[in-house]
Homo-oligomer: A and B are copies of this chain.
Amino acid sequence: MKLNTKSRYAVMALADLAKFSSQNPVSLRDISLRQNISILYLEQIFLKLKKNFIVRSVRGVNGGYVLNKNPQDIKIAEIFLALDEKVKTMACKKDIKKSCTGKSVKCITHNLWDELDIHINSFFENKKLSDLLIKQQNRAQ
């Protein structure tokens, strides 16, 4: 069970943005250099972040991206959601078709995965982008 790189990079890139975009937009080029992520890959990621209004773009020379909200208003959960990475431990709909009547062993494990989903999602619902930055400050001292 592993998170994919897109989700990870998205969080990294947004943390970077939160740190550097207070005045001017930050170009993907800069993020790419600092975080060591390919620009082309960042483009894919930011496209989705933009569609979900987590960032907005500024075109033209000296353009780039800016956070669309305050870091304390950006839940980690919504970043994942933007990347179609809602934490779903299993897609059991296929199984339900056959034989899944609520009494089978299959179903009791389904129940477990549902609880897990809720557990994980609540973790991300309660985490904000700003939480990460605060941690960093404490640590840097």
Using a CB–CB cutoff of 8 Å, the interface residues on chain A facing chain B are 1-4, 7-8, 11-12, 15-16, 19, 34-36, 76, 85, 87-91, 98-99, 102-103, 105-109, 111-113, 115-116, 119-120, 123, 127, 132-133, 135-136, 139-140
B residues less than 8 Å from A119 (CB atoms): 119-120, 123
16 contacts between A and B (CB under 8 A): A1-B2, A1-B85, A2-B89, A8-B109, A8-B113, A12-B105, A12-B109, A15-B108, A16-B105, A35-B105, A103-B140, A105-B136, A107-B136, A108-B135, A111-B132, A116-B123
Number of this chain's copies in the assembly equals 2
Interface of A is mostly: helix
Docked Cα-Cα span, A27 to B124, in Å, equals 42
